[in-house]
Structure 1
Amino acid sequence: MLETVGLTAAEGEVYRLLVATETASADEISGRSALDAPTVGRLLLALEDKGLASAVEDSAGRFAAVPPEMALVPRIRHHFEALEQTRAAVYELVETYRRGARARGTGEAIEIINGAAALRQHLRQLQSGAGHEMMWFVKAEYVAMSAESNQEEFDALGRGVLYRALYEQAYFDHPDSVDYVVKGVRAGEVARAVPLLPLRMAIADRSVAVLPLTASGTPANPRELRAVLVRESSLLDALIALFEHHWEIGAPLRVTEEGQIGGAGPADAVSPVADDRHLLSMMVAGMTDEAIAGQLQVSKRTVQRRIQGLMNLAGVATRMQLGWHAARRDWL
């Protein structure tokens, strides 16, 4: 998962092990992993070069982790700023391509959709015609089609179409959002969550995409809503790559038998109880404390107290460290 912030898989593993200890040598980390000591030594030096580890003074061969909030959070912030710039560039490219298509008298790759009703109709047709796969970016606040009205998804799932849906954190602020996700996952949807999505998007069979050109919810006048339909082109290839990039960094959303987002792996000697695993799964998925409290029907203070208890159980100091520890120990 840390590949997205510039680390190799091996560097990420060594960094996680280093975060879990105050200091460690190559031999000690090797004893906790499948890596030999010389390889760990090279990886520790690589982490030091990247600003994620530092050699301990007066202690030859020992390294300490630079705290994740100092080493990784700025990288993540820069990453999302770059994605926002990508979104703006995509919109600019759409407009440039549309103008060029008009000048050439063709509109084969780009089509402008005017109005919420027309967009809704295109989304229904897109799903009804899908034969293999649907890819969705789901942001907070729908612009044309609400989750509860999208029967076409369940019809397509029934035909064997793969649905991959990425939900941004703010989506779960809606009181019924968890129920919608649970219903979709139970029907066969594969869902993941990320802190932020750059745009709304649906892609069918990797051959056509629909993008509403609005930053927030439906305009006051639904007829003023604009969207773009993108057919096979270099622009469509870029949108597919954008989806796959976010998919790689997304946190999987599982559904328990009780119909809740969460799900526990094999327990260890000091693993959290089922209720805390459910809370932990929602936290890792990016839900706010308020949203978690609403789902669990407890106070925000109770959520924060329980998260602090999980941090104490894991022996970590930050929520980011707790997420890494939970993934490594199979608590999710």
Structure 2
Amino acid sequence: MLEAAGVSQEQESVYRLLVTAGGATAHDVSRRTHVSEPESTRVLEALVHQGLASHNDGTPRVFRAVPPDVALLPRIKHTADALDTARGEADRLLEAYRETARRHDAGQLLEVITGAEALRQRLRQIQVNAREEMLWFCRAQYVAMPSGSNTEEFDALARGVRYRVLYEKPFFDDEGAVDNVVAGVQAGEIARAVPWLPLRLAIADRSVGIFPLVPGGPEGSPEQPTTALVRDSNLLGALVALFESYWEHAVPLHLSETGDLAADDTAHYPALSPADGKLLSLLVAGVADKAIASQMNLSRRTVQRRIQNLMERAGAGTRMQLAWQAARRGWL
């Protein structure tokens, strides 16, 4: 059991005897383990050499175990650190191997999926394997997954995967669509809506995505979907950028006090204080933080802190997004 710490089974057996006996001579060890006394002496001296045991200078010598927290825990920590380093290097080598494979084999980057059932299985698979975030474009008239059938989303949300889902407005005309979106939002989904989406899209952990290669009809129609699964590449990066662009301009959806699905409206946004309004106007006008601080008699750090507060209040990840949200909310 202690082999990972560099202790052989033979040495571990003798070390355990010393721990439980409090001390023992080579003769004692030989008698209890049924091993010759010279062999017992060899094992005991090996334990001393490894810092697992000590002995007195008497005759015969009495060997005692060094406490496990002193003898073993540092060795185990060192081994664990070495394993972590090796694991990190193995991950880097694996990524280099995959990168080389992708460059020489397009099949490593793009996989064609034909048919609704195959698409449904892949959509479920990437959600089961997702660890951090799922990005979705949801269009009207499902092709593979009827609204409400994606139980993998709820499982993923329960284990901490973040879901950001964009719905085009015609999607809500599908039967049961609104109730299913409400259930998703209640479970933790972050939902937004746009008038129209250019394609269907699902991206897991920004490392794998699924999107249609050619338009496909609703499930059951003669026009079966032909989709592509794309892995880490410039194409996937472009799809992520497309999602973020639509997400930035989408209207957030939330649950009202009655539990109904509602879109955020600018009329519901509290107005800014005069000071924050002035700061925001200067920021949008392109005035540098240092100049804003000078004009408003504030420290530069205070200006940056107030800008960060405004970004959090607007749900913006960048200053550019803050400017757009400020215009949409009537803050300018």
Give the TM-score of the pair, scaled to structure 2.
0.48
Greater Rg over alpha carbons, structure: 2
Instruction: Return the structure number with greater relative CO, CA threshold 8 A, min gap 6.
Output: 1
